[in-house]
Amino acid sequence: MDQATPPAGNGSMIKVSVWRSTGPGGVAAGEGRFEAFDVPRQPSQTVLDVVTHIQRHLDPTLTYRFACRVGVCGSCAMVVNGEARWTCRTHVDKVSQDGTLEISPLRNLPVIRDLATDMSEFFDKWARARGQFTGTRTRKDDFAVVSPLSAERQQVDLGIECIGCGVCYSSCDVVEWKPDYLGPAAMNRAWTLVNDTRDQAQRERLAAVAGDAGCHACHTHMTCTERCPKHLPLTSAIAGLKRVTTRALLKGEL
């Protein structure tokens, strides 16, 4: 597919289809159609560069979200040629098919307008998965000592780098089929806290993730793990929750 991508520079262009909202706003903002733009190819051009070019030079009404441009903030994720990605860290060369790009908002989230989604539900689910740390110490106590070599701490290390971009949530078929499903990112957060030896809300957390919308609804498609831009083992985190909730159930703790 890459051979057909026009080379950068030399005045060559790339054909871009961008999702545009046609509804007035609110839920209706999800209604829309693809609009075609021709964008000049540049060396090392990212998909975010393409979107920015469209807004600055072709149509200033295009709505999208970004901040850091370097894969730190997690705000520029969109669906590019069918796959959710960070647009800032995706080169056009890597994803264009026959010299075309199709860019749409993240799936499974309400669209605010064009390419910007409302991520409230995504983050509310982190809270619903009991994603808050509950400690017991105060500032007067000494530091808690957690060995970096302990099995629990190493599990935490695997999942803690999540920046909440929503790529996994957008890619997950179970979220699409079952809208109240907590989703991979929220449960990855819960798993890092299940392994936090200082946390005192473990029973509530296990109850929060063991329900109908929780870890046992996961079909192990592993699309979250395939798509995570940080390569976090999300399915592993959900499988971990399945294990600990099953164990807790057998012990009568759930």
Partner 1 sequence: MSRAWRNRNHPAWWAFIVHRVSGLVLAAFIPLHFWALGQALAGEAALEGFIAWTANPLVKVAEFGLVIALAAHLAGGMRLLMLEFLPWRDWQKSLFAVSVAASIGAGLLFALNMG
Residue ranges in contact with partner 1 by CB under 8 A:
81-84, 102, 171, 173, 219-223, 225-227, 233, 235-236, 239-240, 242-243, 246
Task: Report CA-CA distances (Å) from 52 to 34, 46, 67, 203.
Answer: 17, 10, 12, 46
CB of 102 to partner 1, least distance (A): 6
Residue with smaller CB distance to partner 1, 69 or 153 = 153
CB of 187 to partner 1, least distance (A): 13
Whether residue 144 contacts residue 117, with contact meaning beta carbons closer than 8 Å, is answered with: no
Amino acid code (one letter) for 120:
S
Residue with smaller CB distance to partner 1, 134 or 229 = 229
Residue with smaller CB distance to partner 1, 25 or 82 = 82
Residue with smaller CB distance to partner 1, 69 or 89 = 89
Residue 127 has which token pair? 């809270």
Task: Report CA-CA distances (Å) from 51 to 57, 98, 166.
Answer: 10, 18, 19
Residue with smaller CB distance to partner 1, 137 or 231 = 231
Q: How far apart are CA 8 and CA 224, in angstroms?
A: 32
Whether residue 97 contacts residue 161, with contact meaning beta carbons closer than 8 Å, is answered with: no
CB of 224 to partner 1, least distance (A): 10
CA torsion, ordered 70, 74, 75, 76, to nearest 10 deg: 60
CB of 223 to partner 1, least distance (A): 6
Residue with smaller CB distance to partner 1, 157 or 226 = 226
CB of 25 to partner 1, least distance (A): 26
Residue with smaller CB distance to partner 1, 147 or 220 = 220
Residue 135 has which token pair? 């400690």
Q: How far apart are CA 1 and CA 196, in angstroms?
A: 45
CB of 174 to partner 1, least distance (A): 10
Which residues, in sequence order, are bridge partners of residue 83? 80
Query: What is the helix (H) or strand (E) element at residue 102, kind and residue range?
Result: strand 100-104
Query: What does DSSP assign to residue 91?
Result: B
Query: What does DSSP assign to residue 135?
Result: -
Residue 122 has which token pair? 């995504």
CB of 31 to partner 1, least distance (A): 18
